[in-house]
Amino acid sequence: MSDQVNDPVLCPVCGKKAKTGSAIDCARHIFGTGDKPHRDWVNAQGLSFIDLLIEQATTPGNKSYQILAEVIEKARAKK
């Protein structure tokens, strides 16, 4: 857990650096926070926050976090 990412991903909503600063940690942070601004941001990327959440909860694995992490990376690249 100590391996911090060199160029950390900051939360596109609140600017927080989550844990190691990786995109997947950022995705977890967004799900974990889950307030309206965070939900809205996810929905604005063409995803459904709530569907991702339920998917994550009802199927084994970590698919939703990975999907969101990819989207975060993409959004970051756009900037």
The residues binding another protein (CB under 8 A) are 1, 19, 28, 31-32, 34-36, 39, 49-50, 53-54, 56-58, 60-62
* Cβ neighbours of residue 52 closer than 8 Å, sequence gap 6 or more: 31, 42, 64, 67, 68
Residue 47 or 77: which CB sits closer to another protein? 47
State in angstroms the smallest separation of the CB of 61 from another protein. Answer: 8
State in angstroms the smallest separation of the CB of 78 from another protein. Answer: 26
State in angstroms the smallest separation of the CB of 22 from another protein. Answer: 11
Residue 14 or 78: which CB sits closer to another protein? 14
Q: How far apart are CA 53 and CA 34, in angstroms?
A: 10
Residue 18 or 79: which CB sits closer to another protein? 18
